[in-house]
Structure 1
C-alpha cells in the first residue's frame, strides 16, 4: 500500500524575484529577503534553477541561500534544479542541497518544457544520479506524465520524479481536462508502485493547485515560482505563502 504523506510540502521558486532584480544594479528585490519572508510564513522549502546564462538566479544567490538556510532554517529543504549536463552538478558538489532536480532544458530555453526520455537518457543520467546520491543529495527527475517510464526512472537510481504539470494547467476548462488529469493520476500511481516519491511543478497556481492534489494523491512536494511571485506582487510574500498553504490544506 502506498504511504501517503500527511501533507504536501510547499517549495517556493525564487527565480522570478532574481529576474526582476537583475534588470537594475541596485540589489532589489532581495532573493534572501524573499526567502526569509516565505519561510517565516510557513513555506517548507526554497527552490532555485540557476541557468548557465545567469539571467535570473546567479551562482552567488545559490551560495548565499545555502548559507542562510543552513544557519537560520537547518530543517528547511533546499532544492536546486537544472540540467546536470550544464552547470547543475557544480552546485550539487559544492553546496550539497537536500534535493537536486534534474531538468533537461537547453541553454536558450525560456522555461522548462519537457521531461527526460527513457531509454534515450538513461545511461548518461545514471552516473550523475549515483554521484549526487553519494553526496547525500536526493535526486528527482523532471518527467512528463507517462506511466510507462516510471520503472526506468527507478532503475537508474532516482528517488523521486517531478511531474511536469503545464499540460494539466493548460487543459483546465477544456474537453481534454479529465483525460489529462487521469494521466497524471496514473503516472503518480506507477511511480509510487515502483518505490518513487512524487513531486510536481510548472504552472501550478492558486486556481488549480487544490484540484490537482485532490486527484493526484501522495504528492510530496510542489515547487511554485511564476504564479507565486506574481501573486506576491499583489498580496505580499507572507499572505501569498499562507494562500498556497491553504490550497494544500484544502486538498487533504
Structure 2
C-alpha cells in the first residue's frame, strides 16, 4: 500500500501539491484527474519517490519512502511516465522491456530464461511481439508508449503508477491498455479523459490547484456539481447501455 499523508510539494514560491492525503491500495485502480496545472503529475512523482515532499509523508507498506533504497522501491513500484528521452546507444524494444527485470536481477544483471519468458509475455500483452527487435528510436509515439507499459509489466511489481498512459494511442489501444491496467494490482493512473476514468477506475481523486476537491467512486465524484467549477465547463451526465458517460 502506498499512502500520502498531508503531502505538500513546493517549487520555490509555487505550491504544486497542497496538503494531499490519499491511499493507493493493493488492489484496484485509483484515478488522478483534474485540469492542467492541478498537480496530478507532481503528486504521482511524489508517490514513487521521484519528488521529495516539502512537508508530509509518503509511506510504502508503512515505511517512509525517503528511507528506502531505490532498488527496493523498484521491486514494489513500476512507473510509466510521459518522459521519452532519446539519444544514446540504440536499444531494441525487447532490450527496453528487459530493463524492467533489472530490480530482480543480481549485480551481474544476467537475464535468465524466466526473465526472457516474462519479457515475451509483456510484449504479447501490449501487441508488440512483431516489433521486439526494432530500435525504440524509430517507433511511433503509440508504439513507444506500449513498449514503456510492457517494461512496467515485466517489472512484476505490486504497484504500477502511470502518467497519461493513453497518450499517443488510438481508440483501440486506449481501451486495450486500460483494460490491462484495470487488471493490475494496486495501480494509480493520471488521466485527462474523464470518460476513460469513469470506465476503468475503481476510485477517483479530483485535484484542483494542488488540492483534493473530491474523492470516491466514479459515480460519486464525476458529477456536474464537482466537475463544473473545477473545469469551468458545463457537464451533463448520461447513462448509455448501463455505463456512465460525460458530455461537455
TM value normalised by structure 2: 0.40
- In our comparison, the structure showing a higher alpha carbon Rg is 2
Q: Which has the higher helix share?
A: 1
TM value normalised by structure 1: 0.39
Q: Which has the higher strand share?
A: 2
* Bigger RCO (CA 8 Å, 6+ sep): 2
